[in-house]
Amino acid sequence: MPEALQETTEAQPASIASELESLPARVKRYFGALDTLDADAAAAFFTPGATVRLPGLAPILGRAAIRRVLVQFLLDVDDLRHTPVQLWTAGNLSVFEADMTLTLAGPTTLAFPVTHIIRWVGGLIDEARIDVYLESRMAVAMSAFDRARRTAQPYPNHKSIGRLTPAGRNGSSILRPCPADA
């Protein structure tokens, strides 16, 4: 990349923040930066003391830490897309619902709904909470597993499987001795 372009892609919040830009336009630019897999561009949308909260993780505190987490996350991502579902804004708050498609190296593609709740201060993100809804994908996986289980062949007659068969294999609700031990 030419040096002139490298200098402009560094985290420069002054060019990101604009009180004249509408909040929906800012939200759109932020997700555009995320979807280009550019950690510097995405991190530039955050205040120096920003906080990001993700389910099951400790809060990520500060623009530098947010950038480090983005860099680490994006190392394993080949493509990221947020397909907008709904955007609500009020004052300095935005709530963005999207269907996120994540393509990992491999290639493995995952698609699931996400909600980003963002508080903006001075045109920058001061606080963001990202809710990831994997339950919908888990339900699909469990349904497929259940169909496969119902049509599966009985367990092989082999002692290495253990002494008991799983409940429900033959419609039973209890564990029974394996046929190999009978």
Task: Name the pairing type of β-strands 93-104 and 164-165.
Answer: unpaired
Structure tokens at 24: 């929906």
**Tell me: the pLDDT tens digits for 122-179?**
999 999 999 988 765 565 556 555 655 566 555 444 444 444 444 444 444 444 444 5
pTM of the model: 0.66
Torsion of CA 14, 19, 25, 27, to 10 degrees: 70
The Cα 5–Cα 10 span in angstroms is: 9
* Distance (Å) of CA 121 to CA 70, 99, 155: 21, 26, 60
- What are the structural domains of the chain? 3-133 (3.10.450.50), 137-181 (no CATH)
The pLDDT tens digits of the residues spanning 45-91 come to 999 999 999 988 899 999 999 999 999 988 889 999 999 999 999 99
